[in-house]
């Protein structure tokens, strides 16, 4: 299908799906200028997740299975525990089909490794999140023909850092929000105590989990901590592997496991792998957020509430990370004891942070009444496919 718009769902985990599946749904509903919308999926589980977002539109798209031969899947099982070799091999194995599309839409940059040069398939990038890590502005992202970003913050930084010129950027809003009922707030505990969600990242240098997370969960399991409810909802990749390797920082660490006494604590809900980690169930249900560098903080800020951060890396000489705007919108501690001491007064201090939270959210996530992000993205992709002039940033 040399004239289709192909949405690439190549990750083994489902956390990227909602960032582009809603756009595919919008293209089916509003039209793709006569082009076929194709969803290329890595696994049956990923396809099921995509179908859940597409709804009835799932019957109107073409499906492409990116499975590898069984012998190759088996051979890659062990090395895949350390590096994303299956993901990379799927791209290589199916490169011909991917490059035959008119437009390839991806939530990660790995697909650029198999593009056959400009003038063939056009590659569009939709970041899976709106975070502030250095990797968000990786220079390789300049290889995309079009970058669809959630807000002016990311567009501004991409231009300032020389990642991409303004004419290859378009501000569209946050497509994931259009796939979720943002008014929901599930009751996950039988008592009325405050609920906090702890959302550590997986990066072995930047994440708070390796050095401070276990002590924080110990505190919540203690008599003092039992005055609060905790949802332990890490980035879904943290418990996908035991050994985590950072290519950016050339470091690796073994992930601490879950202790039995945390699992038995009535005030602690532990989830290390369900769909609730990626569908905003926990960020919408919590009264306060504990994190480090995950972009999910901006999903939490769809409703302003107290933020608490564990800084595990700013004093590390290896860090090349800059300032984190979200850290200006909440309390920051260097260890678990310091963070625990901040919890009781977090709600009283929130008024001092509310204006900052609203400002950084507005800068990070563009909103246009009556123009959902998925529709704005679909129009940008139609323009790209049709070659309708410069793309350019739009509010």
Domains with residue ranges and CATH for the chain: 5-174+367-386 (3.40.50.2000), 195-364 (3.40.50.12580)
The pLDDT score that the predictor gives to residue 117 is 67
From 353, 385, 368, 383, select the one nearest 174 (Cα to Cα): 368
Mean pLDDT by 10 residues, the chain (395 residues): 87 94 96 90 97 97 96 91 91 95 96 81 95 90 97 96 97 98 96 98 96 99 98 97 90 97 98 97 99 97 98 84 88 98 98 98 95 97 82 45
The pLDDT score that the predictor gives to residue 317 is 77
Q: Which two tokens stand for residue 187?
A: 């009751």
The pLDDT score that the predictor gives to residue 120 is 82
Q: Is residue 206 within 8 Å of residue 293, measured between CB atoms?
A: yes
What are the residue ranges of helices labelled H in the chain?
17-30, 44-54, 70-76, 85-93, 95-99, 152-160, 213-221, 260-263, 281-285, 296-300, 336-342, 346-364, 373-386
The pLDDT score that the predictor gives to residue 392 is 45
The pLDDT score that the predictor gives to residue 395 is 44
From 346, 334, 353, select the one nearest 228 (Cα to Cα): 346
Q: Is residue 300 within 8 Å of residue 285, measured between CB atoms?
A: no
Q: CA 148 to CA 99: how far, in whole Å?
A: 20
Is the pTM value of this prediction over 0.85? yes
């Amino acid at each position: 299908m040399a004239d289709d718009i192909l949405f690439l769902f190549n990750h083994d985990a489902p956390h990227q799906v909602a960032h582009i599946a809603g756009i595919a749904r919008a293209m089916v509903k509003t039209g793709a200028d006569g082009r076929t919308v194709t969803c290329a999926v890595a696994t049956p589980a990923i396809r099921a997740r995509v179908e859940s977002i597409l709804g009835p539109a799932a019957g109107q798209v073409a499906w492409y299975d990116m499975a590898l031969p069984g012998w190759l899947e088996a051979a890659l099982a062990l090395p895949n525990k350390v590096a994303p070799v299956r993901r990379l091999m799927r791209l290589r194995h199916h490169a011909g089909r991917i490059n035959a599309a008119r437009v390839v839409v991806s939530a990660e940059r790995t697909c650029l490794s198999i593009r056959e040069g400009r003038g063939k398939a056009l590659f569009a990038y939709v970041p899976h999140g709106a975070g502030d890590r250095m990797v968000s502005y990786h220079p390789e992202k300049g290889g995309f023909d079009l970058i669809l970003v959630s807000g002016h913050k990311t567009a501004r930084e991409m231009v300032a850092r020389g990642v991409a010129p303004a004419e290859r950027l378009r501000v569209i809003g946050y497509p994931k929000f259009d796939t979720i009922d943002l008014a929901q707030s599930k009751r996950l505990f039988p008592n009325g105590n405050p609920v906090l969600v702890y959302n550590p990242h997986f990066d072995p240098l930047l994440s708070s989990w390796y050095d401070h997370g276990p002590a924080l969960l110990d505190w919540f399991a203690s008599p003092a901590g039992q005055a609060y409810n905790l949802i332990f909802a890490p980035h879904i990749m943290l418990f996908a592997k035991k050994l985590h390797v950072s290519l950016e920082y050339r470091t690796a660490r073994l992930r601490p496991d879950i202790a039995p006494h945390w699992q038995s604590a009535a005030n602690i809900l532990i989830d290390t792998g369900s769909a609730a980690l990626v569908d905003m169930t926990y960020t919408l249900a919590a009264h306060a957020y504990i994190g480090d560098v995950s972009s999910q903080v901006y999903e939490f800020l769809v409703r302003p509430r107290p933020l608490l951060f564990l800084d595990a890396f700013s004093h590390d000489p290896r860090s090349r990370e800059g300032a984190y705007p979200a850290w200006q919108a909440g309390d920051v501690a260097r260890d678990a004891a310091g963070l625990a001491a901040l919890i009781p007064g977090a709600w009283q201090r929130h008024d001092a942070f509310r204006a900052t939270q609203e400002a950084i959210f507005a800068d990070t996530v563009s909103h246009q009444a009556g123009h959902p992000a998925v529709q704005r993205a679909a129009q940008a992709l139609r323009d790209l496919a049709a070659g309708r002039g410069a793309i350019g940033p739009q509010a």
